[in-house]
Amino acid sequence: MNLLILGRGKTGSLVAEVAAERKHHVETAGAKENAACAALSPEKLHNIDTVIDFTGPHCVVANIEACVHAGKKMVVGTTGWHAELDRIRHLVEQHKTGFVYAANFSIGINLFYDAGRAAATALRHGYSGQIFERHHAHKKDAPSGTALAMQRIVREVSGQTEGPEITSFREGEVVGLHEIVLESANDRIYLCHDAKSRRGFAEGAVLAAEWLAGKTGFYEFKDIWRELQQ
């Protein structure tokens, strides 16, 4: 495939590396070339099959709008824009393009979500829950999209409309650590996912781009994960 990777930062550069290893043709654009979505005109995207976005919350929505208007498929790893999900879903469906997003593209986190979903039944049996997340000091959004996704899962399972509380820590170069702690008067359950590198995110994003080939529609990475488990 011909892939355009937006963002040459910590994750985008690894996505480009993984995609090249998997024999895709890779172009990249950083903040300078893509100011005001300059790299995303229909002419510039003419030969591109899919755009992968690992940029930042300040520009991701404009990037999505430009790609969808140009009729291009997208894989979006950037977080901090999910309040606009419904509007973007509508836009993607209207333009009949393909779109996959996730707050976390690693297989390990998707297993962690499944474990959290199973454990969250505890909240129906007198347990209280808390979520902790720890990331590097440069991360722009808090709480992390992954912690918010886990919070949604716990609410769905427990039927509660509030909580569990999320506590965010920003320090050093931590790639991403998420914990869910469920506590009763009798015991405490800890579930923890600790990312050792960003490669798991990059592999998942390239897998999502490959999966999207030949498809249209609006998907979350968990839809791909479900298929992988069958």
CA dihedral over 230, 76, 107, 80, signed as positive or negative: negative
What's the one-letter identity of residue 150?
M
Closest CA to 176 of 206, 151, 217, 143: 143
Rule CB under 6 A: say whether 110 interacts with ligand NAP. no
Name the segment binding ligand NAP (CB under 6 A); options: 10-18, 121-129, 151-159, 177-185: 10-18
Please select the residue that binds ligand NAP; options are 59, 74, 120, 208, rule is CB under 6 A.
59
Q: Given the complex with ligand NAP, which of 63 and 158 has the nearer CB atom?
A: 63
For ligand NAP, which is the closer residue by CB, 20 or 31?
Answer: 31
In the complex, what is the shortest distance from the CB of residue 49 to ligand NAP, in angstroms, rounded to a whole number?
18
What's the start-to-end Cα distance of the chain, in Å?
A: 26
Q: Nearest-CA neighbor of 167 among 191, 131, 140, 135?
A: 131
Minimum CB distance to ligand NAP smaller for 127 or for 219: 219
Q: CB–CB of 131/96 below 8 Å?
A: no
Residue keyed to tokens 């894989």: 75
Residue 66 parent element (H or E):
helix 60-69
Choose, by CB under 6 A, the member of 17, 20, 22, 30 that binds ligand NAP: 30
The reply to whether 135 belongs to the active site is yes
Please tell me whether residue 31 binds ligand NAP under the rule CB under 6 A.
yes
Residue 139 is among the residues annotated as catalytic for this protein: yes
Q: Which is nearer to ligand NAP, 107 or 160 (CB)?
A: 107
Which is it for the CA torsion 152, 156, 158, 159, positive or negative?
positive
**Does 7 contact ligand NAP by CB under 6 A?**
yes
Distance of alpha carbon 159 from alpha carbon 150, whole angstroms: 14
Binding site for ligand NAP (CB under 6 A): 6-12, 29-32, 34, 54-56, 59, 77-80, 102-105, 198, 201
User: Which residues are known to be catalytic?
Assistant: 135, 139
